[in-house]
Amino acid sequence: MSAIRPLIAALVIFLFLAGCATSGNRISREILPIPSSEVTNHRHDDTQLMESEGAAPGTPLEHLSTPQLKTSWQLGEPDLIVKLRAPYSLPPEASDVFRNFVIPNVTTSDRYVRALEFRLGNHEVVHHAEFRLDETDVSWRRDNEEPGTGYGGMDNATAHYPDGHFVNWVPGKRASELPEGLAWRLPAHADLVVQLHMMPSGFEEVIDPIIGLYFADELPKLNPQMIWLGSRWLPVEAGDTNFVTRDSYELPIDVDVLSVLPHCHFICKNIKAWAILPDGSQQWLARVEEWDFYSQNESRFNRPLSLPRGTTVSVEFGYDNSIGNKRNPNNPPQDIEFGPLSSNEMADLWIQVMPRNERESESLRRFSARHLQQRMIERQERLVELEPDVNGYIELAHSYKRASQVDKAVTRLQEALQFAPESTAVLESLAIALTDVGRHDEALNHWRRCVQLAPNDSRAHLNLGTALGFSNQVAEAESHLKLATELDPGFAPAFFRLGRAQSYQGRFDDALLSYRAALALNPNEPMALHAAARLLATHPDLGKRRPSEALELASRALRQLPKPDAMSLSTLATAQAATGGFELAVTTARLALSRVAPDERSLESKIRRQVDLYGQGRIEVARAAGSKRFVAPSERHSVRRVE
**CATH for 257:** 2.60.120.230
pTM of the model: 0.64
Q: List C-alpha distances in Å: 561 to 4, 158, 527.
A: 17, 9, 12
What's 180's DSSP letter?
T
CATH code of the domain in which 113 resides: 2.60.120.310
Q: Are residues 174 and 262 in the same domain?
A: no
Q: Are residues 210 and 267 in the same domain?
A: no
**Final residue of a structural domain among 331, 357, 383:** 357
Q: Are residues 123 and 189 in the same domain?
A: yes
- Domain assignment of residue 629, yes or no: no
- Domain assignment of residue 286, yes or no: yes
Q: Are residues 94 and 144 in the same domain?
A: yes
HSE on the CB side for 269, CA within 13 Å? 15
**How far apart, in whole angstroms, are the C-alpha atoms of residue 128 and residue 196?**
6
- Domain assignment of residue 160, yes or no: yes
- Domain assignment of residue 238, yes or no: yes
- Domain assignment of residue 91, yes or no: yes
**How far apart, in whole angstroms, are the C-alpha atoms of residue 369 and residue 381?**
18
Q: Are residues 112 and 240 in the same domain?
A: no
pLDDT for res 542? 92
Range of the domain at 343: 225-357
Concatenating the DSSP letter of every residue in 362-405 gives: HHHHHHHHHHHHHHHHHHHHHHHHHS--HHHHHHHHHHHHHTT-
User: What pLDDT digit, counting tens, does each position of 65-110 carry?
Assistant: 333 344 588 889 999 999 999 999 998 876 788 899 999 999 999 9
Q: Are residues 169 and 251 in the same domain?
A: no
- Domain assignment of residue 380, yes or no: no
**Final residue of a structural domain among 197, 215, 233:** 215
Q: Are residues 10 and 78 in the same domain?
A: yes
pLDDT for res 591? 95
Low-confidence ranges of the chain (pLDDT < 50): 1-70, 626-643
β-partners of residue 119 are: 210
Q: Are residues 91 and 154 in the same domain?
A: yes
Concatenating the DSSP letter of every residue in 340-365 gives: SSTTSB-EEEEEEEEESSGGGHHHHH
Q: Are residues 83 and 232 in the same domain?
A: no
Q: Are residues 205 and 298 in the same domain?
A: no
- Domain assignment of residue 13, yes or no: yes
**Final residue of a structural domain among 313, 329, 357:** 357
pLDDT for res 349? 93
Which residues have C-beta within 8 Å of that of residue 377, sequence separation ≥ 6?
396, 399, 400, 403
Number of domains making up the chain:
2
pLDDT for res 324? 94
Which residues have C-beta within 8 Å of that of residue 537, sequence separation ≥ 6?
545, 546, 547, 550, 551, 574, 575, 577, 578, 619
Q: Are residues 120 and 195 in the same domain?
A: yes
Q: Are residues 19 and 162 in the same domain?
A: yes
pLDDT for res 160? 85
Which residues have C-beta within 8 Å of that of residue 576, sequence separation ≥ 6?
551, 582, 584, 585, 588
Among 262, 265, 263, 261, CA closest to 236: 265
- Domain assignment of residue 607, yes or no: no
**How far apart, in whole angstroms, are the C-alpha atoms of residue 463 and residue 466?**
5
Q: Is 446 left (phi over 0), alpha (psi -120 to 50) or beta?
A: alpha
